[in-house]
Amino acid sequence: MVTLFGVFLLTLLVITAIGIMRAQHLFVAVMLSGIFSLQMAAIFFILDAADVALTEAAVGAGVATVLMLGALALTDDRERGPKRHRWAPVAVVTLTTLMVIYATFDKPRLGDPSAPVHQHVAPWYLEETPRLIDVPNVVTAILASFRGYDTLGELFVIFTAGIGVLFLLTNPSKEGALSLLRSAEAEGLRHHLVPRIVGRLVVPFIVLFGLYVQFHGDYGPGGGFQAGALISAGFILYALLEGEGRALQVTPVRLLRGMIAGGALLFVGVGLAGMLLGGNFLDYSILADSPIAGQHLGILLVELGVGFTVTGTLLTVFHAFAAREQRS
């Protein structure tokens, strides 16, 4: 029964992707890509990947749609130009599809327990996590502790993206920023009563839920990335409803930049603390009395660092797009 549901969702996914390709109006393409991300989240959940489903829904269907709409507001709305079908790309693409489909016949079937991917490291992780780290969510344990080095690298990728967007899109002049705060367009949706009232009701709960997801990442699906996306979605909602000026008073630009840098600093600091206390870099076992308590403390601090940086970066990127619009 679940398989049937999965097959239905996958077919819907292909139809949505073809719809995105054929949409002439870019607004339609962006909305369809939001629906695409939501369907991907549902498929991930059916395939037992709860953490990934939460991240895809928060990041893909939430924040990515807002960022693309922000970019659309600053550029063209419609795909202009003749729709020429060039035959060389179509031929290449069809040939490659057929080759990939031919290659998939060698793969183990979906859900096969004797597939090679389930044999080597994964059973070790599933057995050793209760003994070494004692955290119920194995995905968080692997992400923050066993493969913490990868997560550090990813944190720096997000950090770099935030800095890159700041380089490209910041208003250089000071009085441009001040006039922005007073301009009429910084009103947001203040004269729309119903979304404003409901938004005011809902934003505190969104942020509260984001904090819950952050600290509960050890016991259920959750963690730093999802929490960062959720909290930044809450603040983006506030910025859309109350206007850019008000939102920049609630989360000033200095706070956001401090969060971006502070999160990365926290992560590297935990690693260095491990070194200073006598162990290796990112060794959490010596941070507290017993190895397991040390691991818990290390995972908590590291996820907090990730949450800070992701929130700061997503909010900075959103404000960079929104402030640009006010200027042009």
Partner 1 sequence: MEFLGLYNYWVFAILLMTGLYAVISCANLIKKLIGMTIFQAAVFLLYISMDKVEGGTAPIIQADTAGQIYSNPLPQVLILTAIVVGIATLSLGLAIVVRISETYGTIEEDQIRTMDEE
Partner 2 sequence: MEYVFDIASWLLLIAGGVFVFIGGVGALRMPDFYMRMHAASLTDTLGTILVLLGIALQAGLSLAAIKLAAIMVFLLLTSPTAAYALANAARLSGLAPERRIADEGGT
Binding to partner 2 in span 160-219, by CB under 8 A: 192, 194-195, 198-199, 201-202, 205
Binding to partner 1 by CB under 8 A, coded x per residue (else -) over 105-144, reads x-x-xxxxx-x-xx--xx--xx--xx-----xxxx--xx-
Sign of CA dihedral 172, 175, 177, 180: negative
Closer to partner 2 by CB, 100 or 194: give it.
Answer: 194
Residues 170 and 324 sit within 8 Å (Cβ to Cβ): no
Query: What is the rounded CA–CA span in Å between residue 214 and residue 225?
Result: 8
Q: Which does 205 bind (CB under 5 to 8 A by kind): partner 1, partner 2, none?
A: partner 2
Give me the least distance between CB of 195 and partner 2, in Å please. 5
Under the binding rule (CB under 8 A), the answer on residue 8 touching partner 2 is: no
What phi and psi values does residue 133 have, to the nearest 5 degrees? Answer: -120, -30
Q: Which does 230 bind (CB under 5 to 8 A by kind): partner 1, partner 2, none?
A: none
Residue 22: Cβ-neighbour burial (10 angstroms; 0-12, 13-18, 19+): exposed
Binding residues for partner 2 restricted to 52-81, rule: CB under 8 A = none
Binding residues for partner 1 restricted to 218-247, rule: CB under 8 A = 219-221, 223, 225
Sign of CA dihedral 167, 247, 195, 192: negative
Binding residues for partner 1 restricted to 36-75, rule: CB under 8 A = 36-37, 40, 43-44, 47-52, 55-56, 59-60, 63-64, 67-68, 70-72, 74-75
- Segment near partner 1 (CB under 8 A); pick from 77-85, 186-194, 255-263, 293-301: 77-85
Q: Say how many residues make up the chain.
A: 328
CA 174, 176, 181, 185: dihedral to nearest 10 degrees?
A: -170
For 22, residues 6+ apart whose C-beta sits below 8 A from its C-beta are: none
Closer to partner 2 by CB, 78 or 118: give it.
Answer: 78
Q: Kindly state the greatest CA–CA separation across the chain.
A: 68
Query: What is the rounded CA–CA span in Å between residue 272 and residue 263?
Result: 14
Closer to partner 2 by CB, 78 or 192: give it.
Answer: 192
Closer to partner 2 by CB, 184 or 194: give it.
Answer: 194
Q: Coil, strand or helix: which one is 116?
A: helix
What single DSSP character describes residue 185? G
Q: Which does 60 bind (CB under 5 to 8 A by kind): partner 2, partner 1, none?
A: partner 1
**Contact positions vs partner 2 (CB under 8 A):** 192, 194-195, 198-199, 201-202, 205
